[in-house]
Amino acid sequence: MRVNQSTAGVVQQVQRQLTLISYGRAVAFGLATAVVASFVSNLLLPLAFTSQPDYLGLVAGTLGSLAGIAVGIFSRRRDGVVTRTRASLWLEERFPSMQFALATLTEFDANRTREISEDARLRLVEAVGSLQVSAPLRRSAIRQLRVPVLLAVPLLIFSEQLQILAMRLVYRNSAVSEIRFSVGADSVAANSRALTNWRVRVVPPAYSALEARNLDDAGQVAALVGSHIDVSGADSELPTAIVRSTVDSVASATLAVARNGASWRAGLSMPASPAEVRFALSSANRQLLLEPRADSIPVVHLHFPVRDSVLRESKGVVALDATANDDLGLAIVNFELIVTSGEGERFTAKTVVFGAQRLSGEHDRKWQASFILDTMKLLAGDIVHMRAVARDRHPDAAHEPGASETRTFRIARLGEYDSVAVEPAPPPEVQKSLMSQRMLLILTEKLAARRTSITKDVLIAESRKLASDQVKLRKAIGSLVFQRFEGEDSGEHAHSADDGHDHGVTMDQGKLVPTLATGAPMTDGEGGESPIVAINKPLLEAFNAMWDAASSLEIAEPKAAISHMKLALAAIERARGAERIYLRGKPPVVIVDIGKVRLAGKDTGQVNSRAPREAFSPRDAARESRLLAAALLLTRDVEAGRDSLALLRLESIAEAPRLAAALNDALAVVRRGGDVTAVLIRARRLLGTGVRSDSLNGWRGR
Amino acid sequence: MTAIPQVGSGVAAPFVFATAQYESGDWDSAPLVPANVIDAIARYTTIAVAPQGIIVPLASEEVFRSPLLYLTGHLPVRFTPKESEVMAAYVQRGGLLFIDDHNHDIDGPFHQSVVEEIRRIFGVMTKLPNNHELYRSFFKFENGPPATSHELNGWGDNLVHEHLQAILRNHRIGVLYSNKDYSSEWSYHPDNKRFLSVDNTRFAVNLVVYALTR
Query: pLDDT digits over A404-454, tens only?
Result: 988 888 888 776 654 554 555 666 666 666 668 888 899 999 999 998 899
Strand segments, DSSP code E, in A572-642 are none
CATH architecture under which domain A299-411 falls: Sandwich (2.60)
Query: What is the residue-averaged pLDDT of chain B?
Result: 88
Helical segments of A306-428, H only: none
Instruction: Please report the beta strands in B66-171, taking only residues with DSSP state E, as ranges in sequence order.
Output: 68-73, 96-101, 126-128, 164-169
CA distances, A529 to each of A270, A524, A532, A534, A535 (Å): 100, 7, 8, 6, 10
Distance from CA of A64 to the nearest CA of B (A): 55
A348 forms beta bridges with A341
Render the burial of A275-296: b for 16+ CB within 10 Å, e for the rest: bbbbbebeeebbbbbbbbeebe
Q: Three-state SS for A542?
A: helix
Report pLDDT digits (tens) over A331-370.
999 999 888 887 666 677 888 899 999 998 889 999 999 9
Any A CB within 8 A of B51 CB: yes
A679 pLDDT exceeds 80? yes
pLDDT at residue number B158: 65
Q: Is A68 helix (H, G, I), strand (E, B) or coil?
A: helix
Determine the Cα angle at A696 with ends A690 and A697, to 5°.
125
Residue A475 has pLDDT above 70, yes or no: yes
Contact B90, B63 (CB under 8 A): yes
Q: Which of A81-95, A254-268, A618-632, B39-53 has the highest mean pLDDT?
A: B39-53
> What pLDDT was estimated at residue A698?
44
Task: List the single residue in B with minimal CA-CA distance to A592.
Answer: B51
Among the ranges given (A32-36, A184-188, B104-108), the one the predictor scored with the smallest mean pLDDT: A184-188
Residues forming a β-bridge with A408: A385
Q: How many CA atoms lie within 13 A of A482 on its CB side?
A: 20
In chain B, which residues have their Cβ closer than 8 Å to the Cβ of A589?
52
Which contiguous run of DSSP H or E holds residue A135?
Answer: helix A134-157
Instruction: Mutation target for B interface from A582, A597, A598: give the one with most B CBs within 10 A.
Output: A597
Predicted confidence (pLDDT) at residue A645 exceeds the cutoff of 60:
yes
**For residue A27, how many other CB atoms are within 10 A of its CB?**
18
pLDDT interval class at A16 (50, 70, 90):
confident
A633, A664, A637: which is closest to A648 by C-alpha? A664
A688 in Cβ contact with A667 (< 8 Å): no
Q: What does the alpha-carbon distance between residue B183 and residue B27 come to, in Å, rounded to a whole number?
A: 11
pLDDT exceeds cutoff 80 at B148: yes
pLDDT at residue number A429: 61
Q: pTM of the entire structure?
A: 0.36
Tens digit of pLDDT for each residue in A197-236? 788 999 999 888 888 988 877 788 889 989 999 998 888 7
Helices (H) and strands (E) in chain B, counts: 6, 7
Say whether B35 and A591 touch across the interface (CB within 8 A): yes
Which of residues 144 through 183 in chain B touch A, CB cutoff 8 A? none
Are the beta carbons of A163 and A38 closer than 8 angstroms? yes
In chain A, residues with a C-beta closer than 8 Å to the C-beta of B34 are 590
**CA–CA separation, B79 vs B118, rounded Å?**
10
Query: Residue A189 above 50 pLDDT?
Result: no
The span from the CA of A187 to the CA of A332, in Å, is 53
Region B108-124: mean pLDDT is 91
Q: Distance of alpha carbon A263 from its chain centroid, rounded?
A: 50
At residue B76, the 3 state secondary structure works out as coil
Q: What distance in Å separates residue B123's CA from the closest CA in chain A?
A: 34
**Segment B123-131 long-range contacts (CB within 8 Å, at least 24 positions apart):** B123/B167, B125/B165, B125/B166, B125/B167, B125/B175, B125/B177, B126/B165, B126/B166, B126/B167, B126/B168, B127/B163, B127/B164, B127/B165, B127/B166, B128/B163, B128/B164, B128/B165, B128/B166, B128/B173, B128/B176, B129/B163, B130/B162, B130/B163
Residue A66 CA to its chain's centroid (Å): 45
Burial track A143-182 (b if 16+ CB lie within 10 A, e otherwise) = ebbeebbebbeebeeebeebbbebbeebbebbbbbbbbbb
pLDDT over 80 at A564, yes or no? yes
At CA B211, angle to CA B210 and CA B213, rounded to 5? 65
Residues of A in contact with B49 (CB under 8 A): 594
For the cut 50, the answer to whether the pLDDT of residue A494 exceeds it is no
E strands present in B96-195: 96-101, 126-128, 164-169, 172-178
Identity of the residue in B28, B31, B35 whose CB atom sits nearest the CB atom of A592? B35
Extract long-range pairs of B87-90: CB within 8 Å, 24+ residues apart. Answer: B87/B58, B87/B121, B87/B122, B88/B121, B88/B122, B89/B64, B90/B63, B90/B64
pLDDT value of position A526 = 41
* φ, ψ (nearest 5 deg) of residue A276: -120, 135
Distance CA A399, CA A474 (A): 83
Single out the residue of A354, A364, A351, A350 nearest to residue A301, CA to CA: A364
Choosing among B19, B21, B26, B49, which should be mutated to test the A contact, i.e. which has the most A CBs within 10 A?
Answer: B49
* Residues A406 and A387: beta-carbon distance below 8 Å: yes
Q: What is the pairing mode between strands A505-508 and B18-21?
A: unpaired
pLDDT tier, A548 (very low <50, low <70, confident <90, very high otherwise): very high
Task: Report how far residue A167's alpha carbon sits from residue A161's, in angstroms, rounded to the nearest whole number.
Answer: 10
Report CB contact under 8 Å: B52, A592.
yes
- Helices (DSSP H) in A158-268: which residue ranges? 159-174
Share of chain A above pLDDT 70, in %: 74
Tens-place pLDDT, residues A286-320: 888 888 888 888 999 999 998 888 888 888 899 99
Across the interface, of B32, B42, B43, the residue whose CB is closest to A590 is B32
Does A597 sit within 8 Å of B189, measured CB to CB?
A: no
Chain B hits for A601, CB-CB cut-off 8 Å, are: none
Rama region for B144: left / alpha / beta (φ>0; ψ in -120 to 50; rest): left
Query: What does the pLDDT read at residue A535?
Result: 54
Which residues of B are less than 8 Å from A590 in CB distance?
32, 34-35, 52, 189-190
Query: What was the pLDDT predicted at A207?
Result: 87
Q: What is the dihedral of CA B92, B94, B100, B101, to 10 degrees?
A: 0
Give the Cα separation of A381 and A395 in Å (integer).
40
Is it true that domain B18-213 has CATH number 3.40.50.12140? yes
CA dihedral B72, B73, B74, B75 (to 10 degrees): -130
Least confident of A90-104, B82-96, B184-198: A90-104
Over residues A240-248, the mean pLDDT reads 80
Q: Specify which of A336-350, A481-495, A504-518 reaches the highest per-range mean pLDDT.
A: A336-350
Task: State the pLDDT at residue B16.
Answer: 95
Average pLDDT of the residues in A471-487: 76
Q: Is residue A523 scored above 50 in pLDDT?
A: no
Give dist(CA A187, CA A181) in Å, integer: 12
Cβ separation A590–B190 shorter than 8 A: yes
Q: Could you tell me if B49 lies within 8 Å of chain A, comparing CB atoms? A: yes
If one counts every other C-beta atom within 10 angstroms of the C-beta of residue A262, the result is: 8
**DSSP conformational letter for A165:** H
Closest C-alpha among A119, A127, A108 to residue A2: A108
Write down the mean pLDDT value for chain A: 78
- The A-side interface with B (CB below 8 A) comprises 587-594, 597-598
The Cα–Cα gap between A163 and B141 comes to 61
In degrees and rounded to multiples of 5, residue A552 shows phi and psi of -65, -40
Candidates A527, A532, A463; CA nearest to A503 is: A532
Lowest mean pLDDT, pick from A13-22, A176-185, A600-609, A665-674 = A176-185
Shortest CA gap A524–chain B (Å): 22
Of A271, A70, A62, A36, nearest in space to A158 by CA: A36
**What confidence score (pLDDT) does residue A26 get?**
87
Q: Where are the beta strands (DSSP E) in A344-377?
A: 346-358, 364-372
Read off the pLDDT band of A584 (50, 70, 90): low
Q: Give Cα separations from A354 to A205, A300, A369, A402, A407 (angstroms).
A: 30, 16, 8, 16, 16
- Put simply, the answer to whether A590 touches B35 (Cβ < 8 Å) is yes
A175 — pLDDT class (breaks 50, 70, 90): very low
Q: Residue ranges of the domains in chain A?
A: 5-174, 299-411, 429-576, 618-698
A96's CB contacts (< 8 A; 6+ apart) are none
Q: How confident is the model at residue B51 (pLDDT cuts 50, 70, 90)?
A: very high
